[in-house]
Structure 1
Amino acid sequence: MNRHVARVVLLLVLLWGGAVLAAGEGETRFLFVGNSLSYVGNLPAVFDALCRANGHAVHSEMLVEGGATLADRVADSSVRLQLSAARYDYLVLQERGGDLIGGFGEEARLSSLAATTELTEIARRAGVQPLYLGTYQKLEAFSEQLVAAERELSGPLKLRFVPVSSGLVRGLRDYPELAWFARDGQHPGPDLTLLQAVRLYREVYGALPREQTLDVVAPIYGISTTFFPPALASMKALAREPAADRHHYDAATVRAVRILFGRETEETER
């Protein structure tokens, strides 16, 4: 075991006890693995709040690092170690944006394919259901290319796939007033985080969440937040500015995100 892996193991060991105690019996447990696309806006917390508001007992954690790829999580064995140390029902994988369409070069694309395959196998060996949560591109042509690449990857692996980019493109067109992006214009804003949570909810529970207000009481991490080395997000995050401690979604925003799903489904079925 090299020094980097040993450090990750130590961090996870220190956090396992509290995480396991925090999760009650009967809860469905999710482990999110990704990067700043997952933790800016705290997607796991928004997802948990959405599930609980609709009557589902859940507990989510995230194993994240800024700019990380899924290949990084294969290399340091952190996913395998965490799945062997605590009980999870679902593993939610989210890649760095653009890897699958060659945005970081052919080597990165092939590495992403291999890493997704390996993490899927690791999850199944651990008795955990893997889910592939898509990333996004703003321009429609690139978005279509990305979603097609994500579907092509997921199909042979029989990996449940949750597309995001197609919903974002439609949202930018139909509801431009919503907060789709953070202030850098790249990372998820609160409404894109909600879109991801709603899409994931639909995949897990087979129905859209109710149209109602939603209060998320949790750290809402921003673009200045970092998690390094990869560790469960119960570890104190490093940030140049404090995170908000909650976010409120009004019913109109939840309705808009639900409508986007319906419209996109209708177009796909035509």
Structure 2
Amino acid sequence: MRRCFVVAVLTLLALAGAQASEPAHRVLFIGNSLTYVNDLPNAFASLAPDGARLDVDMIASAGASLADAMRNPLVTKALAEGGYTDVILQERGGDAFCPTACRQEGVSALSAMRSAKDAAHMVRAAGARVFYLGTWQSSRETNEALEFGERAIASASGAGYVEIAESRRKLMQAYPELAWTHADGQHPGYATTAMMALRTWRAMFGVTPTTVPCVAGEVHYHAPMPDGILHIDLSKKPRTCLVPLDAVRELAGDP
């Protein structure tokens, strides 16, 4: 009996040690209203398994482009001193749009290209990985033009690309009952925010989440901290889950 007790204690200690030795992740979202409406970083943080060492922050204000972010001393200071391991960049909707005329001129002419490259360079200089989170349009043709630009920007920036646009359109057809668009007709609905959270997690960690993205505390429409860094606190109440469990794998893009 005593031997079994000792073995059990040693097993628990080993598990605790393994958990403590897992690398901590400090994640920063840099974006705009597409990022903060429905609290994307909060939904992303909720996907962490029990015991995971994860801190998530956000810098986002209404209408902000990545060019605006690169001129913001708060952003440059956070990237240089924040100790982040992973940074997600989200441009304003449509800024990466690249139709036929754009492709003929060359994608390098996109105004969003330079700011994304500058941001990604700063992120990597601080020792973090960088991800470029996509946006969306309404039709297959416009989504394809947007994704062409986004892929080119992500590639030129050395960033992992998280595609949203055309997958979202197809999922809207498969799950028409979900809230894809906010009541304002422009911003993400709960399902779109959930999709972004799930696909960003999958891109960052290489695994498909199996839990529902939920938001702790108030679900925001206006920027919760437009002039500062929002630190995500998952202990806040109430807890609002964004989609049903049976939609998670499809929204996550599980192959």
Q: TM-score, normalised by structure 1?
A: 0.74
* Equivalent position of 1:114 in the other structure: 114
* Equivalent position of 1:28 in the other structure: 25
Superposed displacement of residue 97, structure 1:
0.2
Deviations 1:69-126 (A, max 9, x none): 00001122332111223211011100000011169xx9xx733111101011111111
Corresponding letter in the other structure for 2:192: L
Q: In structure 2, what is the Cα distance between the partners aligned to 1:154 and 1:207?
A: 21
Which residues in structure 2 correspond to 1:1-270 (within 5 Å)? Answer: 26-52=23-49, 56-101=52-97, 110-210=110-210, 212-222=211-221, 225-226=222-223, 229-234=226-231, 245-248=238-241, 249-258=243-252, 261-262=253-254
Task: Name which one, 1 or 2, has greater alpha-carbon Rg.
Answer: 2
Q: In structure 2, what is the Cα distance between the partners aligned to 1:85 and 1:195?
A: 30
SS of equivalent residue, structure 1 residue 99: coil
Aligned length: 221
Deviations 1:136-190 (A, max 9, x none): 1121111111111111112233211111112211111111111111111211111
**Coordinate RMSD, CA, aligned:** 2.4
Q: In structure 2, what is the Cα distance between the partners aligned to 1:213 and 1:163?
A: 20
Superposed displacement of residue 226, structure 1:
3.1
Deviations 1:217-269 (A, max 9, x none): 233112xx13575321259xxxxxxxx943124312324424xx24xx6xxxx
Q: In structure 1, what is the Cα distance between the partners aligned to 2:43 and 2:57?
A: 12
Contact 2:198 2:209 in 1 (8 A): yes
Contact 1:92 1:132 in 2 (8 A): yes
**1:153–1:247 distance in 2 versus 1, CA, 3 Å:** same
Aligned-residue sequence identity (percent) comes to 31
**1:208–1:36 distance in 2 versus 1, CA, 3 Å:** same
SS of equivalent residue, structure 2 residue 49: helix
Contact 1:45 1:218 in 2 (8 A): no
Which segments of 5 or more consecutive residues in structure 1 lack a partner in the other structure?
1-24, 236-243, 266-270
**1:84–1:157 distance in 2 versus 1, CA, 3 Å:** closer
Q: TM-score, normalised by structure 2?
A: 0.79
Which segments of 5 or more consecutive residues in structure 2 lack a partner in the other structure?
1-21, 103-108
**1:71–1:227 distance in 2 versus 1, CA, 3 Å:** farther
Q: In structure 1, what is the Cα distance between the partners aligned to 2:212 and 2:113?
A: 38
